[in-house]
Chains A and B, each alone.
Chain A
Amino acid sequence: MKKASDVRKIISYLPEEAGIYPRLTGLEYLKFMANLYAKDRGEVEEMVNEGLKIASLGDKIREKTATYSKGMKRRLLIARALMVRPKLAILDEPTSGLDVLHAYHVRRIIKEYVKQQGLTVILSSHNMLEVDFLCDRVALIHDGQIVVEGSPHALKETYEAKNLEEVFAKVTGHG
């Protein structure tokens, strides 16, 4: 990892408990992030526009993030992680603690963005329905070990399960 900052250019990481600078507006936050990734002003503008589209926060984007709900903050964070067009995005529990509508919005963004931009996402989640909906390949981890991996469809077929939750239970000997 001699050129850590170069590696960071192509990776975008969203920690589970990530926060946002509360005294910046949503727009200022996106601009701050874009300025650190983009090479020139034009690229900054493109990234910010992309971020605005992903976050879809309307006029709220011009208000300080301290006034945002948890769901709005998460939408902004997802926008920040994806707008910089990383080769790899690592999203840790992207919808944890969100209400149904915000969680739905976030999942839809991830799904659409991956399809449009062709980026790779490593997503960690406890929500097996979310994993089923979003992921092409799944690795189930139990006690810190990968116990099984494959596509959601193949796993369900192999374990004759209706969903990934059942697969997990069977693999770990609880089903």
Chain B
Amino acid sequence: MVRHLKVVVLKEIKELIRDPRILVGVIIIPLVIFPLMGQLFSIATEATLREMRVIPVALIDEDRSEFSYMLLEMLRRVPNIVLVSLSSQNWIEEALNNSVKAVIKVSQGFASNLSNGLRGNIEVYLVIKSLGMGEVGVGSTVDEILGSFSKMVSTAMISKHAPNANAPTILEPIIVSDKTIVKGEVVDVSPKGFISALLSQTMVIPIVTMLLMIMAAQIAVTSIAVEKEEKTLETLLTLPVKRVTILWGKLIGSTIVAAISVIAYMVGFNYYMSIVLSQQQMPAISTSYIGIPFEGYAVLAISLFLSLMSMLALAILLGAYAQDVRSAQSLIGILFIPILVPTFILMYADPLSLPLSLQIILYLIPFSHPIIAVKSIIFGNYLISMFGLLYNMAFMVVVLYVAARFFSSEKVVTARITLGQRGTKTS
């Protein structure tokens, strides 16, 4: 039995890996597409940064007051800003000719307005010549400068009108320090930062789970449909091998190829994420709060294995009803719904926060449980994951039993679902 299984698994792997539809679609493309996306992202970021290194800005000072002079001085001190002088009459034309990115216009009466207790007006003109992140960057740089300038003006006015007052305290009277309580301990990180760090970790597992399931299902359905398309199944079933061995050969072969494919995805995806995340700041949080303990990984691995086997057995059953690879690929779409629904819901929401009816549906879908397990394990709640394991085990036993019975019968050769015609015909 074991020797035969090895022989069948090896044959499955060879056939699958050499199939250009699988080799290109699920192994080569992710290895190429993600790094390519990362490179393109990096090129785009680099181009934006290059654009931001020197920003030509013009200040039209119609007020000529101490405040407008203060703004001018401030702009001079910003390292990546190059000041361009424009005449008041044809300033738009001049700005365009001198590649000016932003024009800041301090209107006449700015200082006198402030002295009379009114608001001073500043107009900002951004020159948009193309659609890119560079334009957005220029806008936010100018906003930041004017925000600081506004604070500076406030400080100056407070000092003038109330010399004994503490200007910074009046401007920002409250200091808020966010902390989070996790697993009964206080962590010195804001809840927002904690959740984003946690999501960045826990989201990877649902994505990997989803990818693995989809890849494996696609591969398994192809492996059985190819047998039908190439008319090798009939011969295979006449060989001195137990039908269950053939079924297990397909399950194991598909899992191995799917695992290779997921590794290809993760290598590509990690490369992409490392480029994207290098642009973002994440709070440093000890892994004891958001990490998964060793026994948690064991529970997760078992949960994933059980779900995967159920998915593969379902895919093979479905594939046996297809006439060829193309109709098998269409049929397998049905199985993606119970994978995608829990993945996307559970990526953001906690199952217990959902309406009861949706919770029940999620718990009934066997493919939800690896994702639910990740979330509950992080918070030390093993009860839900244990329930998931038992449920998945029962589900897998039932599905494998049905698949084994199906494979032992002659229906595996004659089963047909005719797509695109009225009704479903099983002969």
Contact = CB atoms under 8 A, between A and B. Distances in A.
Contact of A24 (B11, B238, B239): B11
Nearest to B1: A5
Interface in B130-178: none
A8 B7 contact: no
A36 B230 CA distance: 20
A15 B240 contact: no
Contacts of B18: 23, 64
Best-buried of A8, A9, A21, A64 by chain B (most CB within 10 Å): A21
A9 B240 contact: yes
Contacts of A56: none
A150 interface: no
A18 B11 contact: no
Best-buried of B7, B11, B18, B242 by chain A (most CB within 10 Å): B11
Contact of A32 (B7, B230, B240): B7
A12 to B, nearest CB: 8
Interface in B209-241: 230-232, 234-235, 238-241
Given A8-B240, A36-B7, A37-B240, A20 B14 contact: no
A129 to B, nearest CB: 27
Nearest to A9: B240
Contacts of B15: 21, 23-24
A34 to B, nearest CB: 9
Contacts, number: 57
Nearest to A90: B238
B19 interface: yes
B425 interface: no
Interface in A95-149: none
B119 interface: no
B14 A24 contact: yes
B14 A23 contact: yes
Contacts of B3: 35
Interface in A24-48: 24, 28, 32-33, 35-37
A59 interface: no
Q: How large is the interface on B (under 10, 10 to 19, 20 to 34, 35 or more residues)?
A: 10 to 19
B324 to A, nearest CB: 12
A153 to B, nearest CB: 33
Contacts of A20: 230, 232
Contacts of A33: 239
A116 to B, nearest CB: 23
B240 A19 contact: no
B238 A8 contact: yes
A36 B4 contact: yes
Given A8-B238, A13-B235, A37-B240, A21 B230 contact: yes
Given A24-B11, A32-B7, A11 B238 contact: yes
A21 B16 CA distance: 10
Given A23-B18, A24-B11, A36 B240 contact: yes
Contacts of B241: 5, 8, 36
Nearest to A44: B7
Contacts of A23: 14-15, 18-19
Contacts of B232: 18-21
Contact of A21 (B4, B11, B240): B11
B5 to A, nearest CB: 11
Contacts of A6: 240
A36 B239 contact: yes
Contacts of B10: 32
A106 to B, nearest CB: 17
Contacts of B242: 5
Interface in B359-415: none
Best-buried of A6, A13, A36 by chain B (most CB within 10 Å): A36
Nearest to B14: A24
Contact of B231 (A5, A17, A35): A17
A115 to B, nearest CB: 25
Contact of A15 (B4, B7, B235): B235
A82 to B, nearest CB: 14
Contacts of B231: 15, 17-19
Interface of A: 5-6, 8-9, 11-15, 17-24, 28, 32-33, 35-37, 64
Closest 5 CB pairs of A and B: A19-B231, A23-B18, A19-B230, A9-B240, A8-B240
Interface of B: 3-4, 7, 10-11, 14-15, 18-19, 230-232, 234-235, 238-242
12 contacts: A8-B238, A9-B240, A14-B235, A18-B234, A19-B231, A23-B19, A28-B14, A32-B7, A35-B3, A35-B7, A36-B239, A37-B240
Given A13-B238, A21-B11, 16 more contacts: A5-B240, A5-B242, A13-B235, A15-B234, A19-B231, A19-B235, A21-B232, A23-B14, A23-B15, A23-B19, A35-B4, A35-B7, A36-B4, A36-B240, A36-B241, A64-B18
